[in-house]
């Protein structure tokens, strides 16, 4: 087992770092510009040096072995502006390359939304991998689904590992389990985006769809959940934190710097702790022999969900599941521990209008449950009698 000294860039609320530390690695410094996130980091990692702006960070600490970070995705995410890798925020990944040019750090771990693979007909991934190759790194990436690690949240994120020492694919491309997502919704809680309804639902059986960052001014945007007893609710922020692998109340320190709604933004932008822990475990274990099914792909089109490459080496795609493991988990209904909130009448009727005008497929029982919920909320009546 080999444990590394880690510098966390774009640290957010520390999801990558917490996961890596759970796998035995040591965080030596953090960098994060958001005041609310910094409040969380100061409280949860009180003994670490915390720098505020990567653009003013002159160099990495001596002895840095792993540079980790989920670089900003506002210009990349499907929920964002889709400006691309050259957008004001997402272009900050170039600051990582600037620091690497001044450092002998042997390993890099980057995380981002899976939409980066399709953005600009592959331009974003071409840019990131080409810069790493110019710096002498071999690289491999894989899209991982948080559900694989025991969390009832469908969250697909790209984890890219680069190294000057070993072949990264020998760490990331281990384990490939068929997804365990249930198809039968009956008797199970179902998550969905109540803010959608025309082009998508984010429908997830026994799970919630990807938690989103919400508004930049702190307006919360939690998913909704259709519970087996018929209620339509939204989860509490404490359960949202747990859905990302943090302990309940992890973001409470943010209240010293921002309104309460910003906690949803912080959680939605965070890295799932168990996913980062799995990568950390693979780093500790070191390279292993793998038997891969590979194929070539066109880098000027959408990139595959797993691939590897390096200097003077043609990139190859890998046929691999987003589930390297299948950690058992409880049902979403049992997972929720904090008090839920009934979806408001305004939110419900707005969602219903969009749902009826679209052509999405969903159970008719779901539509009827929404209609009943809207009527009950309109009449300001309790949904269910208390026994």
The structure's pTM equals 0.93
Low-confidence ranges of the chain (pLDDT < 70): 1, 73-90, 214-218, 381-387
* Residues 6+ positions from 99 with CB-CB distance below 8 Å: 9, 54, 57, 59, 60, 67
**3-class SS of residue 279:** helix
Q: Greatest CA span in the chain, whole angstroms?
A: 70
d(CA 352, CA 126): 41
pLDDT computed for residue 150 by the predictor: 97
Is 113 within 8 Å of 90 (Cβ atoms)? no
Distance CA 216, CA 247 (A): 24
Which position among 37, 73, 322, 374 bears the catalytic label? 73
Beta-strand relationship, 107-113 and 190-192? unpaired
Query: Which residues make Cβ contacts (< 8 Å) with residue 190, sequence separation at least 6?
Result: 203, 204, 205, 206, 225, 226, 366
Q: Which two tokens stand for residue 85?
A: 């890798």
**Is residue 73 annotated as a catalytic residue, yes or no?**
yes
Q: Which tens digit of pLDDT belongs to each residue from 169-199?
A: 999 999 999 988 888 999 999 999 999 988 8
Domains (range + CATH), the chain: 5-179+270-318 (3.40.50.150), 190-245+329-378 (no CATH)
pLDDT digits (tens, 9 = 90+) for 313-335: 999 999 999 999 999 999 999 99
Determine the pLDDT at residue 271.
98
Contact 330, 225 (CB under 8 A): no
């Amino acid at each position: 087992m080999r444990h590394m000294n880690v510098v966390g860039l774009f640290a957010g609320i520390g999801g990558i770092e917490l996961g890596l530390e759970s796998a035995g690695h040591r965080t030596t410094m953090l960098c994060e510009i958001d005041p609310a996130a910094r409040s969380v980091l100061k409280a949860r990692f009180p003994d670490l040096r915390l720098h505020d702006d990567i653009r003013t960070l002159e160099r990495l600490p001596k002895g840095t072995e792993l540079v980790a970070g989920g670089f900003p995705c506002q210009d990349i995410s499907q929920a964002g502006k889709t400006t691309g890798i050259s957008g004001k925020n997402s272009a900050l990944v170039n600051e990582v390359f600037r620091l690497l040019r001044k450092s002998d750090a042997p390993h890099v771990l980057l995380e981002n939304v899976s939409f980066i693979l399709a953005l600009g007909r592959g331009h974003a991934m071409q840019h990131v991998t080409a810069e790493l190759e110019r710096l002498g790194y071999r690289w491999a990436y894989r899209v991982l689904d948080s559900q694989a690690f025991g969390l009832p949240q469908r969250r697909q994120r790209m984890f890219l590992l680069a190294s000057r020492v070993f072949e990264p694919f020998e760490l990331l491309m281990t384990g490939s389990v068929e997804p365990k997502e249930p198809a039968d919704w009956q008797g199970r809680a179902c998550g969905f985006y109540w803010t959608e309804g025309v082009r998508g639902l984010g429908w997830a059986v026994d799970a919630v769809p990807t938690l989103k960052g919400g508004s930049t001014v702190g307006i919360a945007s939690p998913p909704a959940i259709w519970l087996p007893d018929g209620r339509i609710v939204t989860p509490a922020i404490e359960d949202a934190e747990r859905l990302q692998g943090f302990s309940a109340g992890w973001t409470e320190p943010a209240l010293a710097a921002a309104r309460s709604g910003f906690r949803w933004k912080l959680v939605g932008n965070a890295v799932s702790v168990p996913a980062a822990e799995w990568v950390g475990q693979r780093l500790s274990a070191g390279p292993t022999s793998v038997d891969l099914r590979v194929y070539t792909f066109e880098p000027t089109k959408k990139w595959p969900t797993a691939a590897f490459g390096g200097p003077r080496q043609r990139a190859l795609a890998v046929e691999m599941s987003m589930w390297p493991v299948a950690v058992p988990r409880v049902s979403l209904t049992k997972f929720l521990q904090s008090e839920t909130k009934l979806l408001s009448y305004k939110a419900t009727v707005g969602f219903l209008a969009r749902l009826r005008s679209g052509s999405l497929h969903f159970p008719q029982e779901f539509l009827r449950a929404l209609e009943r919920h809207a009527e009950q909320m309109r009449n300001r009546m309790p949904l269910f009698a208390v026994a």
